Amino acid sequence: MHYHDILIVGGGLAGLRAAVGLCERYDVGLFSKVHPIRSHSIAAQGGINAALANNPNSRDDTWEKHAFDTIKGSDYLADQHAVEIMCKEAPNIVYEMEHWGCPFSRFPDRSIAQRPFGGAGYPRTCYSTDITGHVLLNTLYERTVSKGVKVYPEWFVVDLVIENGQCHGVIAFDLINGKIIPIRARATLFATGGYGRVYFYSTNALINTGSGIGVAYKAGVPIKDMEFVQFHPTALIGTNILMTEACRGEGGYLINNKGERFMERYVPIAMELAPRDIVSRSIQTEIDEGRGFDHPLGKYINLDLRHLGENKIQEKLPGIRKISIDFIGIDPVHDPIPIMPSQHYSMGGIDTNIRCETEIKGFYGAGECACVSVHGANRLGGNSLLDTIVFGKLASFSIPEYLESDGLTTPDESFLLRKKEEIEKKIKRLTSEGSERPFSIQMDLSRTMSACVGIFRTKDELEKALVDIAGIKERYKRVKVSSPKLHMNYELMNTLELEFMLEVAHTIALGALLREESRGAHFRRDFPARNDAEWLKHTIARIGADGKPAISFKEVVITNYQPMERKY
């Protein structure tokens, strides 16, 4: 059995920032399914938002204006006190990262460069060409190394240990040594990322299964707003690799098969820099109505950067150019990039407050796996990197206060050992019985989600999704893993994850069916209007006694910004 004062699960930006803030006072163990610099935070390209007012067109920008843009972009489902904290902290976070060595791009006066992003009233997105997540992640990882944080790569958490409303750690699968290990901790923080791989078309890495959300949910922790799934407007056809919003921030056009910049038809003021939910629906509408292009890999719209010129593309978007050449053989200097909308981000997640606390004592969440909620029904580009670092930092403040409080109990180690035995019995069954192959089940789940719980939704499609998911859950009971060996058994790990993916998908589809309105990224063709009178509330899902989601609702926190119609 392992022991740490504080257990952090997840090696991305939220987990690393929390570890940096906690390691000097406490024994911190950071457990990650992959090496930290392979976590999905590294894939973020375009930038991180902060009201620095460095751009000549944003000299009067303030954190309050950043907060308003975020709340408006969320379609007023964000909890406004949480948004205000995030936006007020944003400049401090960017300067802190700069002082720790993050190589931001610069304006000629050497101030941190800022570019426009969708849904923002000012160009406030700080960036490092088009590899912003990469440089932020490496900066924080280097700092964890310098501070001696104990990192455990290739560990996968399979259960959350909760007794009498208090979290005492986890049961984890050590892939390198092939062992199931109980890890006891006084406080546990999940920073495990999003659930993109529940969908077939996703910009997310293969590791983004939402298993952390699923583990928490199965253990009885409530999860919030799961029906709100963001689709990024511009993913490369075929591979679904992200083509950053910075492409449009730097002046790229979206063009249909008639040669039109069609966003003029939908949002003539903002054009390509409207919020992501609107741009994604606009692109999908163009495709559905026959104004897209045909490709053996699917229908698409063109992202045209040619007018920017080679020098600007190479200076501001070198990674995008390289990806386009390497993966589809197209140089955006000379030809448009074929793109389609794809699942990109999880607005929903573990229900937390502004201190990253859940209703379980000693259990915390931060980053994409958590729902504070600062993104509401739709996240603005540039706010995800900010969310991870801000709330990773805030967790490093709130956890010590809990550890120094009275009332902490130490669990009987036999309780953790019993949980370990349960997992070992489950693994024995998975490796000795059954006929269903896990990859086939996951493929069918992801295709169902993309087909029935996508950009546009209807009652019939959502009911079909729920029926299909129920059938897939029955098939999972007969799943079989090829090898009983635990050492580096990724098929076994993926099969264990698959159970949590099924639960995550179930809550997404059920929440989408129950929410009879359109808000942000959730668009019901049969209920196309936003309905504040009945649906200005968060959806809370917790696992019921029958093993199915039990749904309740929670009020949205309104401070200074009354809901109004979104206009751009």
- Residue 422 is predicted with a pLDDT of 96
230-287, pLDDT tens digit by residue? 999 999 999 999 999 999 999 999 999 999 999 999 999 999 999 999 999 999 999 9
Q: What is the pLDDT at residue 567?
A: 65
pLDDT for residue 242: 95
Q: What's the CA dihedral at 262, 266, 267, 272 to 10 degrees?
A: -40
Please tell me the predicted confidence (pLDDT) of residue 549: 96
Amino acid at 447: R
Counting Cα atoms < 13 Å in the Cβ hemisphere of 431 gives 17
Share of the chain above pLDDT 70, in %: 99
- E strand or H helix at 253: strand 253-255
- Asked if residue 444 has pLDDT above 90, the reply is yes
Please state which architecture CATH assigns to domain 413-541.
Up-down Bundle (1.20)
pLDDT at position 482, please? 94
Does the structure show a pLDDT above 90 at 412? no
| Inter-axis angle of helices 80-99 and 383-403, nearest 10 | 100
For 20-70, write each residue's pLDDT tens digit: 999 999 999 999 999 999 999 999 999 999 999 999 999 999 999 999 999
pLDDT, tens only, 447-481 = 999 999 999 999 999 999 999 999 999 999 999 99
pLDDT digits (tens, 9 = 90+) for 135-179: 999 999 999 999 999 999 999 999 999 998 999 999 999 999 999
Q: Where are the alpha helices (DSSP H) in 234-317?
A: 246-249, 263-266, 276-288, 310-316
Q: Residue range 530-537: average pLDDT?
A: 97
Per-residue pLDDT band for 502 (boundaries 50, 70, 90) equals very high
Residue 413: pLDDT above 90? no
Peptide bond into 324 cis (omega under 30): no
Q: Is residue 276 annotated as a catalytic residue, yes or no?
A: yes
Over residues 86-139, the pLDDT tens digits come to: 999 999 999 999 999 999 999 999 999 999 998 999 999 999 999 999 999 999
Cα 523 to Cα 353, 551, 568, distances in angstroms: 26, 20, 18
Give the model's pLDDT for residue 297: 85
Structure-block tokens of residue 285: 């509408």
The DSSP output letter for 526 is T
Q: Which of 115, 197, 248, 276 is catalytic?
A: 276
At the top level of CATH, which class does the domain 235-342 belong to? Answer: alpha beta
What number does CATH give the domain 2-229+345-403?
3.50.50.60
Give the per-residue pLDDT at 405: 83
Residue 568: which pLDDT band, with cuts at 50, 70 and 90?
low
Sheet holding 349-351, edge to edge: 370-371, 349-351, 223-224, 537-543, 549-555
Q: With left for phi above 0 and alpha for psi between -120 and 50, is residue 193 left, alpha or beta?
A: left
| Dihedral Cα 119, 121, 122, 123, nearest 10 deg | 20
Parse the chain into domains and list their residue ranges: 2-229+345-403, 235-342, 413-541
